[in-house]
Amino acid sequence: MIDTVAQQSLITTVFEASNAALDRLTHLIPDLDRDRTEYALASVLLEEAWVAGG
């Protein structure tokens, strides 16, 4: 199991990455719901991180 500090660091990094990706996506699709899209991107990235680390 990942320790709490590592989990928090991973979550922070994932949300920063999803936010950066979202900034690029909204230039292409301005009508995106930012909150829902950021959550969806972060969910996928976190799942991939846990699968890769598991």
Per-residue pLDDT tens over the stretch 3-54: 788 888 988 998 898 889 888 988 899 898 988 988 898 899 888 887 777 6
* Nearest in space to 25 (alpha carbons), one of 36, 37, 15: 37
Token pair in block for residue 48: 């991939």
Model pLDDT, residue 31: 92
**Position 1 confidence tier, pLDDT thresholds 50, 70, 90:** low
